[in-house]
Every structure is written in structure tokens, then in C-alpha cells.
Amino acid sequence: MNETLSLAHATALDAADPLRHLRGQYLIPQHNGADQTYFVGNSLGLQPKGAKAMVQEVMDLWASIAVEGHFTGPTHWMNYHRLVRDSLARVVGALPGEVVAMNTLSVNLHLMMVSFYRPSQQRPAILMEAGAFPTDRHAVEAQIRFHGFNPETDLIEVQPDEANGTISMAAIERAIAEHGARVALVLWPGVQYRTGQVFDLDAITRLARAQGANIGFDLAHSVGNVPLALHDIAPDFAVWCHYKYLNAGPGAVAGCFVHERHANDTSLPRFAGWWGHEQATRFQMAPQFVPELGAEGWQLSNPPVLGLAPLRASLALFDEAGMPALRDKSLQLTGYLETMVRARLAPVLDIITPAEPERRGCQLSLRVSGGRAQGRSLFEYLQAAGVLGDWREPDVIRISPTPMYNGYGDIHRFVEEVERWAAA
């Protein structure tokens, strides 16, 4: 066997990894007395060891001083959402006032479309990718109907035009040029959830702007995965969740970005809630709504403190590592996985994620030779062996080596288990 494909080589790569210490900051699920080989950070990230202490701190304050916890100490609950603001801004490449942790992704998407999907008879349409994650498709169709338009004509979906079900930049450009005069909003993912394809958000923003359309991004599979520069790219808005690569726990509080050119515009239509009211006069309890400046002006309710606590622990690790270093390791891990699959598993697995490093993040999506039945057989075998990936219908296994806690040895084990399955 080529030495670069050996376990010894994987072990040496792990030993040389400058981020290897981060794995020790996470709780790794166990399987038969050993660490599970976990490749599902693109679905639910692992628990940071510091998360329990952050939650316990809130519980202890609640137990000891109850309502006074809203006002007492450096982590008082009134401004708890601001404890994560600066770190979030660094992760997504934004100004602190452009981001807020609130609600869930689906709720935030609807709130953003209230402000930035303003259809008219001339511009009723929303343009998005075909095969979008269901939450986006459902929300878009609902918003179009709510405004009295017809999704059959006013929901424009860009079809994949590349061999493995990915979408070329040329196809996106053609669609926006063809339909641009009718498009009120372009809604696009940063990473396509099924194929793992990373999109050029800067180029898509410029294309939408050129046609006079608003532009928003669903970054559920991007935040904490790939570097982002939202302030500089300047979409109107972006939404994301924190339970994937941001490791904030199941059902975690989500995130939202509103560019500063809008974030400080108090005339924008929005659904109002009392926590979006300006802080200086919020507790005067007046009937008039005066929006807080910045993305916080889109808040509805006071911060879910227990839900935000694990995010604080996770973001501390992102601040320690830095997105450039995490991206560098991610590229190396996925490159190693690609090399191993092509060299040792070519008859069994086909990679559908783009080969160009800049067009993919942590995830490689794999199609198993023999169709869905064989794919499910392999997926279930790997589960039983303690190697956990992610199944997406109709026939894709997603393997996501996450740089925070995965290593080259994990990838080597995955390859060996696939070989055992194939040989059985």
C-alpha cells in the first residue's frame, strides 16, 4: 500500500495538527467503550465541555437570586444576547451591530422576508435553488401566497446543471438575467445541504443587485464551516442556525444578519416585538414601537438565556482557533478524505461534492454504487460499527470531518470500515 494511505501516515498527520488539542474540549459519544467516529457535525455538533458550566451558571443565579438575575453581575440576563454578539460577528465577517442571536432559523427567515420580500405586480417572484432545504421552500411558498401571488409562477427554482446535481455559477447567472425583472428577492444557500456545494456569495449578491432584486442567504451549513465576509459582501440579510458547526446544542437559538445600511433604517417594515424596541425606552412601556438600531431591532422576545448559554462556550473555542486556521484544517481533512476515497474506495463510492476546494466545505457527499438499497446497507453497517455519518434521501451518505474535533485517524477508520463492508 502507498504509505500516504496508511494508518501510520494518518497518525503522523494528527500528531502534527496544530489544532489537535481542540478535540479534548468536546464530549465524544462512546461506542463499545471507545470514542465514536463522529462525522455528523453538519447536522448536530458535539457538546463543548464548557457548555454545562455555562448553563449551570444560569441555573445557579436563578436559584439564588431569581428575578434579580436579570440585572446582577457581568452575565446578567437583560443583555445576555450581547455576550455572544462580538464573537458571532467575527465568525460571519460582520460588524457587531449587524448580528443578533434570536429565535430559530425558520422564524428568522420569515421575519427577514417581512422586511426584504416586498413584492409588486411587476416584481412578485422569489428565485432560489431547486432542491432547497425544506424550511426554505416552505417559507418561500408561504410568503408568496401570503402576499397574494402564485408559487407556480412566482417561485423560480434554478435547476442543477452539473453531472452530480450541483449548480454552476453560469446557471445562476443565466437564471437571474432571464428572470431578473420579475424577481423581488433572491434567496440562496451558502452551502447546499445535500451536495455540500459552496457558492460564491459575493458573485450572487452582485448579480441580484444588478437586476434590482434584494438578496438574502441561508447560511445554516456555512456558519462555522467556511469563512464569511457578510459586511463586505453586503447582502440585505442572512439567517443561520447554531446547532451544526457552531455546536450550541439541539434546537439552539439561531442567528441573523442585517446589513448596516438597513439595520439603522427604522422606517423598514417589520414584525415588532418588545425586545426589538429601543433599549433606552423599552421599560417605559409606551404603546409606540421605536426600533432598536442594528439587527437587534428585529428581536421579538427577551433572550432565551438557557438556550444561549451553550453558544457562549462554543464561541470561546472559535475565538481561540480562528476561522482561517479552521478552514485550513478543513481543506486538508476533506482533501485527505477525497484522496482516500478515490484511491481505496473508487469501486464503492462516488463523490458528488465539487472537487474544487473553494467549492466545498467540511462535507463530502457520497453516493454508493448499487443504488439506494446498497447505500442504506452501508450506512447501517457503519452505524453498527460506531462510525456515524448522515443519510440524505434518496441515496447520499454525508461525511463531514469537522476540524474542531475530527482528525485524519477518523477518516482512515471510515475508509477501513467501508472496505470491510465491501468485502463481506
pLDDT tens by residue, 177-219: 999 999 999 999 999 999 999 999 999 999 999 999 999 999 9
On whether both 202 and 126 belong to a single domain, the answer is yes
Same domain, 136 and 222: yes
Helices 201-210 & 169-179, crossing angle to 10 degrees?
20
Number of domains making up the chain: 2
Q: Tell me: do 299 and 380 sit in the same domain.
A: no
**Are 241 and 220 contacting, i.e. CB atoms less than 8 angstroms apart?**
yes
Q: Are 64 and 416 in contact (CB under 8 A)?
A: no
What are 29-65's pLDDT values in tens digits? Answer: 999 999 999 999 999 999 999 999 999 999 999 999 9
> Any residues with CB less than 8 A from the CB of 183 and at least 6 apart, and which?
123, 125, 126, 127, 156, 176, 208, 211, 213
In tens, the pLDDT along 59-86 reads 999 999 999 999 999 999 999 999 999 9
Indicate whether 395 pLDDT > 90. Answer: no
309 with 335, same domain?
A: no
Domain of 308, CATH number, reads: 3.40.640.10
Question: Does some domain include residue 406?
Answer: yes
341, pLDDT greater than 90: yes
379 has a pLDDT exceeding 80: yes
Assigned C-alpha cell, 375: 447505500
* 50 within domain boundaries: no
Which of 260, 291, 319 lies at the terminal end of a domain, its last residue? 319
- The pLDDT of residue 1 is 60
Q: Are residues 312 and 333 in the same domain?
A: no
Last residue of a domain, one of 264, 286, 319: 319
Average pLDDT over residues 345-357: 94
Indicate whether 281 belongs to any domain.
yes
- Residue 173 belongs to a domain: yes
pLDDT at 402 over 90: yes
Q: Is there a domain that residue 48 lies in? A: no
Average pLDDT, stretch 139-151? 98
Give the residue ranges of DSSP H helices in 16-78.
51-65
Q: Of the residues 292, 319, 346, which one is the last residue of a structural domain?
A: 319
Do the domain assignments include residue 49? Answer: no
Same domain, 104 and 156: yes
Question: With 90 as the cut, is the pLDDT of residue 369 above it?
Answer: no
Same domain, 255 and 377: no
Q: Is 407 exposed, middle or buried (0-12, 13-18, 19+ CB in 10 A)?
A: buried
Segment 105-128, tens digit of pLDDT:
999 999 999 999 999 999 999 999
Query: Does residue 377 sit in the same domain as residue 247?
Result: no
If you average pLDDT over residues 374-403, what whole number do you get? 94
230 and 81: one domain? Answer: yes
Range of the domain at 14: 3-42+322-423
Same domain, 228 and 194: yes
Same domain membership, residue 88 and residue 63:
yes
Q: What confidence score (pLDDT) does residue 393 get? A: 87
Same domain for 310 and 416: no
Residue 389 domain flag? yes
pLDDT at 79: 94
Task: Report the CATH number that the domain containing residue 329 is assigned in CATH.
Answer: 3.90.1150.10
Q: Provide the pLDDT for residue 424.
A: 84
